Structure 1
Amino acid sequence: MAEITPVPLADLTTLRVGGTPLRMVEARTRDELISALQEAWSQGEPWLVLGGGSNLLAGDEPFDGTVVLVRTSGIQRVEGAREGHVRLRVEAGHNWDALVEYTVAAGLAGIEAMSGIPGSAGAAPIQNVGAYGQEIVETLVEVELLDEATGEVETVSADALGLGFRTSVLKQHYGRGAERSGVIVSITLELQDVGAGDVSVRGAQLRQALRLAPDAAVSLRWIRETVLATRAAKGMVLDDADPDTHSAGSFFQNAIVSASFARTLPPECPRWPMAVEIEPVTVIPLAAFDGVVPPPVSVQPDVKVSAAWLIEHSGPGKGFRLPRSRAGLSTKHALALTNRGGATAGEVAELARYIQHRVQSEFGLLLQPEPVLVGVEL
């Protein structure tokens, strides 16, 4: 590993905010990454792992600890895949979109809808990244995890990571720490080997985003190019010249609410059921049948609702800025809080609090931040 002269986190994060850490280490190999973290943990100092810096809002004050820059890379085919599938082991620092590009070129399906998401492969399972109804939980097999409690690397199955909607046991949610403290060293995905030809597109949300009929078949390459174009139109593909991309992506999570709460929202608010609703079946043993059939009990699945729609219909629209603030909503997508040039973390946080207040006042729902917040309060 190499200890380097610390630079402001504003230079390393896509939101372009954040103070300078006390110490900074660059890890380019697996062994360097493990060694750097073990050393930081042994000294009991604050630590922060930084990959692509795309899901972080860091405070303006200096970070009083060590920042480890994960610069590992590499993709390796490994054994154990089901028939018709391929397993890939990917180093934690590997660029996520470069990984997606690799899989599409190789004809491997499963993560193509997540094209254009910034960040590193090792960060993807932490918040179960996803886009257009496709999530990494669908393809993740396991991770190699450097556990802070033991200082050892262990293989952890995807089932043990508590992967849910933008969450896992490794994620630090706003207001509480991670359930398990550690750093992902590598991830293993199992992808379907479909080749370069056209394939059917699973998932209503993805078909809707791509404007495809239920029976449509397209190539992985077409899906990737269409998703990239769609994200670019929303300012969700990094571009140094475009302030709309100087963000942490979607700052607020699409909210998961009960079906009954969803019915209190305007019918125009986009929503997607989190599970298929199945009609209940009642089985009564013949010997116990008394001629009365109890009414069925319907259990309705939770519903995901659009945070972007809630924001725009609570007052703040695309391009909204508070007076004298250098932070603002993207002019292309109301879910992205952006740095319009020289904004501080405090200004971004102020805007986030205002939006939370407006949505809660209008719809009775408190939006939760998606990025990890370090040294910042909402």
Structure 2
Amino acid sequence: MQELHDAPLAPLTTFRLGGPATRLVTATTDAEVIAAVRAADDSGTPLLVVGGGSNLVIGDKGFDGTALRIATTGFELRGTTLELAAGEVWTDAVARTVEAGLAGVECLAGIPGSAGATPIQNVGAYGQEVSSTITEVVAYDRRAGAAVTLTNEECAFSYRHSRFKDDPSRYVVLRVRFALEDAGGLSAPLRYAETARALGVEPGDRVPLADARETVLKLRAGKGMVLDPEDHDTWSAGSFFTNPILTDAQFADFHARVRERLGDGAEPPAYPAGEGHTKTSAAWLIDKAGFGKGYGDGAARISTKHTLALTNRGGATTEDLLELAREIVAGVREAFGVTLVNEPVTVGVSLQGSPVQ
């Protein structure tokens, strides 16, 4: 294991924000990961687990404790069964499954971060979620002091959520196992209208795997959602807010406020989200509340390509970013009565404005 003290954390995040960690440990094997976690737990030292850093907002004061960077590697394909080490680069793993002719995660191409992070927030995009292909997650259970294997059902997946988010300090993901599909080189049925439209087919159709992946990469790049060191629109955590899921009563109130603000014929985006619930679009809410692409006059602004991404234009601080996020949350709540929830994990800070002790 590599160990550094007073180590900068900003370079390990896609936002390029945040202060240093008291101690930074880089683990390259599962055994090293477990040893580092046990050492922190035995000494009562606060622990921050860092993978690809694509879902982290770290406070300007940094992290007073041990930051554990998981850099494990392992891509093992047996038939249609795939096992990934937590430290594997997710988008590279997706590319390899496409090269192998296996469907199931091709529309998740271009998502930054590590494989170990995907089950935590049930990563999804363009009509696919990892929960539809994950069979098992191997994790170190800090409460039990042992490695455990959780089935798909035990992971309790839901929209951008899982068991791991319910108790974020309990599990450290070590490996993720997937069941993919051999569809003769074709993708899974396309479930996202934008993807199907870009490919000139209908939702539900299958297309060559490589075509699906390349189309998603182009769509994401057009929204600043594919990492590029030269493009500040990608100095972000991707979608900063989750799409709100509203009860029927909440949606009725929201719908009334939309028409009051935008006119009687205005119709907000609405997607079924289980019995008695409807999902709407956070990006639509942000835009219609008056926060368009490029909004902001400081070092932290909304992306010029997508209203759902908050970005560091260079030289921003974490507090700059949070001030912008709070302004957007307040504006959307005032306009539509809907409270947006941040998707990235905050460390040492809170979107509500109170520092985390």
Residue 33 of structure 1 is matched in structure 2 by: 33
Whole-angstrom CA distance in 2 between matches of 1:29 and 1:6: 23
How many Å apart are 1:121 and its aligned residue? 0.4
Question: 1:302, CA displacement in angstroms?
Answer: 1.5
Q: d(CA) in 2 for partners of 1:199 and 1:60?
A: 43
Asked if 1:328 corresponds to 2:288, the answer is no
Higher helix share: 2
Q: Note the C-alpha offset of 1:68.
A: 0.6
1:201 positional shift = 2.7
Task: Tell me how far apart the structure 2 counterparts of residues 240 and 269 of structure 1 sit (CA, whole Å).
Answer: 35
Aligned residues: 341
Report the Cα offset of residue 73 of structure 1: 1.1
The aligned residue for residue 283 of structure 1 is: none
Structure 1: tracts of 5 or more residues without a match: 79-84, 173-177, 276-299
TM-score under structure 1 normalisation?
Answer: 0.86
Indicate the residue corresponding to 2:273 in structure 1: 274
Relative distance call for 1:199 and 1:110 in structure 2 (3 A) is closer
1:29 shift after superposition: 1.3
The question of whether the paired residues in 2 share the 8 Å contact of 1:4 and 1:24 is answered with: yes
Shift of 1:212: 3.0
Instruction: Say whether 1:241 aligns with 2:216.
Output: no
Q: Which residue does the alignment assign to 2:185?
A: 196
1:21 corresponds to 2:15: no
After superposition, the Cα gap between the structure-2 partners of 1:148 and 1:200, relative to the gap in structure 1 and judged at 3 Å, is closer
1:87-116, Cα deviation, whole Å (9 max, x unpaired): 111100000001110111111111111110
Cα deviation digits, residues 211-245 of structure 1 (max 9, x gap): 63246431111010000000000000000100000
Which amino acid is the alignment partner of residue 269 of structure 1? P
Give 2:171's match in structure 1, choosing from 174, 182, 188: 182
Structure 1 residue 210, shift from structure 2 partner = 5.2
Residue equivalent to 1:318: 293
8 A contact 2:103–2:186 mirrored in 1? no
Q: How high is the sequence identity, in percent, across the aligned residues?
A: 46
Unaligned runs of 5+ in 2: 259-265, 352-357
Q: 2:344 maps to which residue?
A: 371
Aligned residue runs from structure 1 range 200-219, under 5 A? 200-202=189-191, 207=196, 212-214=201-203, 216-219=205-208
User: For residue 46 of structure 2, what is the amino acid of its counterpart?
Assistant: P
Alpha-carbon distance in 1 for matches of 2:85, 2:204:
36
After TM superposition, give the deviation of residue 197 of structure 1 in Å. 4.5
Check 1:179–1:185 CA distance in 2 against 1; reply closer, same or farther (3 A cut). Answer: closer
- Residue by residue over 1:241-283, the C-alpha shift from the partner in whole angstroms, topping out at 9 and shown as x without a partner, is 00000001100001111234334334432221124xxxxxxxx
Is 1:130 the equivalent of 2:127? no
State the partner residue of 2:76.
Answer: 76
SS of 2:72's partner is coil
**Residue in structure 2 matched with residue 61 of structure 1 by the alignment:** 61
1:110 to 2:97 alignment: no
Alignment check: 8 A CA contact 2:303 2:311 kept:
yes
- TM-score, normalising length: structure 2: 0.91
Name the larger-Rg structure. Answer: 1
- Equivalent positions of 1:250-261 (< 5 A) are 250-261=239-250
Q: 1:117 to 1:150 in 2, by over 3 A?
A: same
Decide which moves more: 148-157 or 3-12: 3-12
Which residue type is aligned with residue 121 of structure 1?
Answer: A
Aligned equivalents of 1:124, 1:90: Cα separation in 2 = 11
Give RMSD over aligned pairs: 1.9
8 A contact 2:9–2:62 mirrored in 1: no
Give the whole-Å Cα distance in 1 for the aligned partners of 2:271 and 2:200: 16
Asked whether 1:168 is paired with 2:168, we answer: no
